[in-house]
Structure 1
Amino acid sequence: MADNMQRGSDQLSAHRDDEAKREIQGRLKAGHPTRAEEWADPEPAADDDPEITVGQLPVPGTSDREELADEALRSDLARHLGRHSFPADRRALERSLLDEHAPEPLVETVRELPGGRARYGNVQEVMVALGRKPQA
């Protein structure tokens, strides 16, 4: 009975699932289509297709560089700290960033936080303490 059970939303059998993984491995390693049938290859991008942007897109209507820098900082802090890091003081946040192998400029920014007994409950509070604009 267990052999007939589906795994999550997977519609393939275990054997077909493994076969599909092997098929995609060739394409990933080769860096180009590996099928002999030309009809099975994806269509290349057209000249008038929009460029794909890598990285963070600006918020519509926002042209202020400082706001974009604040948003990038907030995003980096949230990505490297996560919810598990809070509540914490400056030293604990610095340790968390170092443990996560965060970029040195981000660690330096956290070192600018007031020391002492100040504790931060989330990234928003860190942004306010740094004198940066919190998320709207």
Structure 2
Amino acid sequence: MERGSNQVGPRKDDEMKHELEGYLRSGQHTHVEEGNDPEPPADDDIRVDPGGPVPPPGGERDQALAEADTESLRLELARHLERATFPADRQTVLDALQANHAPDTVLEAARSMPDGATYANVTEIVAAVADARPRQR
């Protein structure tokens, strides 16, 4: 077989193929390349979202953190509530969250919703929870 300008012989070619076999099958890094793997974040590292810049310290930072909390609450509620649940009152939302095994933090937030209102969707629930939270200054 003609190899042209290839400087690797058939034996070296098979050896390299064998070395890469685990990497090619798994689609991720193998133990041989452990030094090149990125380290996982430490417990005390500041969480930085890759979607944007780090908010500056002060009032804007607090507002950005509140918006992130609101967004994560909205996502968790949407994950644990079905469309058939709506329109719903406070007790219906709580029952649906408990039936779908929602985390305790989501249940606590839902418990802070005012009683007697009817909610058409998750966005209205998040707005009600945000209004019920005490303002921090």
Q: TM-score, normalised by structure 2?
A: 0.55
**Structure 2 unaligned residues grouped into runs of 5+:** 1-17, 24-28, 42-46, 56-63, 132-137
The equivalences for 1:42-81 within 5 A come to 42=23, 43-44=29-30, 47-48=35-36, 50=38, 57=49, 59-61=51-53, 63=55, 64-81=64-81
Give the Cα separation in 2 of the matches to 1:101 and 1:81: 10
Q: Flag the structure with larger Rg.
A: 2
Sequence identity of aligned pairs in percent? 36
* Alignment-mate amino acid for residue 121 of structure 1: A
Contact 1:58 1:68 in 2 (8 A): no
Matched letter for residue 113 of structure 1: M
1:58 Cα deviation from its structure 2 partner:
5.8
- Partners in 2 of 1:62 and 1:83 — Cα distance? 34
Partner letter of residue 86 of structure 1?
A: F
Give the counterpart letter for 2:22 in structure 1.
D
Task: State the number of aligned residues.
Answer: 94
Runs in 1 of length 4+ with deviation above 6 angstroms? none
1:86 aligns with 2:86: yes
TM-score w.r.t. length of structure 1 = 0.56
The Cα RMSD (Å) is 2.9
The structure where helix makes up a greater share of residues is 2
Structure 2 residue 98 is matched with structure 1 residue 98: yes
